[in-house]
Structure 1
Amino acid sequence: MASVQLKGRRPGDYGFHQEYRTRWSDNDMYDHMNNSVYSFLFDSIINAYLIEHCGLRPPTSPQIGLVVNSHCDYFGSVGFPMTIDLGLRINKLGKSSVAYEVGVFEQGKDDVRAVGGYTHVFVEREKNRPAANGMSDEIRRGLERLLRDGTPKL
């Protein structure tokens, strides 16, 4: 997706939100949030949604999501002591895969600071291979609620 299009993202473009209070240790030597923290935050909001709305139980679910792709575009910095708003949406939902997008906003502001995410492929835990019938119905139903067609699903 073109950076120009991503730079235009607003909080309302995302159907699920999570607040994060930055920590002193999130900053790097340039006094903004370290790139690796963005990956941590993307993983946190995505897995929180999967657990809360898709029935995923990481230690015991018969299916798990494996990351096969990740990305991030940066448009402005964030850092301690900011509170940020993370927004989650689904851009593509396949038989066994899902492409997540996460927007990072300073709380109370509309300008996106970063947009990133990753692609999961849901696999059978025991075989580490996609299930013949794709992801479970429960996971799919939860993810469909965030599938973006311009209208919030939650």
Structure 2
Amino acid sequence: MALEALKRRRRSDYKFQLEYRTRWSDNDMYHHLNNSIYYFLFDSVVNTYLIKHCSLHPPTSSQIGLVVHSHCDYLAPIEFPAVVDLALRVNKLGKSSVSYEIGVFEHGQEEVKAVGEFVHVFVDRESRKPGMQGMAEELKKGLSEILANKATL
């Protein structure tokens, strides 16, 4: 995706949001959110959505999501103390895989600070291979609720 298009992202481009209050320990030596914290936040917003809206119960689900790709485009720094809004959407929904996009916004500001991509492949817990039927129906249904309009991709 072109960097210029990512810079134009707004909260309204996403269908689910989660608030996070930064901690002093989230900063790096340059006094801004450490790169690794962004990935922690991506994992948190995705799994919060899966648990609350897709009937996923990680300790007992027969299917689990394995992260097979992730990246982040950092557009502007965030410093402690801050409240960030993590905005989530699905850009692509396949038979067993899903590509999420996460926008990171500082509370009260419309400009996106970072945009990440996170790809899960849902596999059988035991075999670690995708099932013949793909992802569970409830999971796919919940993910389709935040599927981005193809015109906005």
Query: After TM superposition, is the score higher than 0.5?
Result: yes
Give the whole-Å Cα distance in 2 for the aligned partners of 1:77 and 1:120. Answer: 27
Give the whole-Å Cα distance in 1 for the aligned partners of 2:79 and 2:108. Answer: 15
Give the whole-Å Cα distance in 2 for the aligned partners of 1:18 and 1:119. Answer: 19
Q: Give the aligned residue type for 2:68.
A: V
Give the unaligned 5+ runs of structure 1.
none
**TM-score normalised by structure 2 residue count:** 0.97
Give the whole-Å Cα distance in 2 for the aligned partners of 1:31 and 1:61. Answer: 40
Alignment of structure 1 residues 99-118 onto 2, 5 Å? 99-118=99-118
Q: CA deviation at 1:108?
A: 1.4
Q: Partner of 2:63 in structure 1?
A: 63
**TM-score normalised by structure 1 residue count:** 0.96
Q: CA deviation at 1:150?
A: 6.8
What is the RMSD computed on CA atoms of the aligned residues?
A: 1.1
Q: Partner of 1:96 in structure 2?
A: 96
Q: CA deviation at 1:117?
A: 2.4
Alignment of structure 1 residues 12-91 onto 2, 5 Å? 12-91=12-91
Give the unaligned 5+ runs of structure 2.
none
Give the whole-Å Cα distance in 1 for the aligned partners of 2:121 and 2:4. Answer: 28
Give the whole-Å Cα distance in 2 for the aligned partners of 1:150 and 1:87. Answer: 17
Q: CA deviation at 1:109?
A: 1.0
Give the whole-Å Cα distance in 2 for the aligned partners of 1:21 and 1:109. Answer: 15
Preserved CA contact (<8 Å) 1:45 1:86: yes
Percent of residue pairs identical: 60
Give the whole-Å Cα distance in 1 for the aligned partners of 2:71 and 2:79. Answer: 20
Q: Deviations over 1:36-74 (max 9, x none)?
A: 000000000000000000000001000000000001001
Give the whole-Å Cα distance in 2 for the aligned partners of 1:13 and 1:150. Answer: 11
Give the whole-Å Cα distance in 2 for the aligned partners of 1:66 and 1:3. Answer: 26
Q: Give the aligned residue type for 2:110.
A: D
Give the whole-Å Cα distance in 1 for the aligned partners of 2:91 and 2:121. Answer: 14
Q: Deviations over 1:11-33 (max 9, x none)?
A: 11110000000000000000000
Give the whole-Å Cα distance in 1 for the aligned partners of 2:21 and 2:52. Answer: 20
4+ runs of 1 displaced by more than 2 Å? Answer: none
Give the whole-Å Cα distance in 2 for the aligned partners of 1:117 and 1:80. Answer: 24
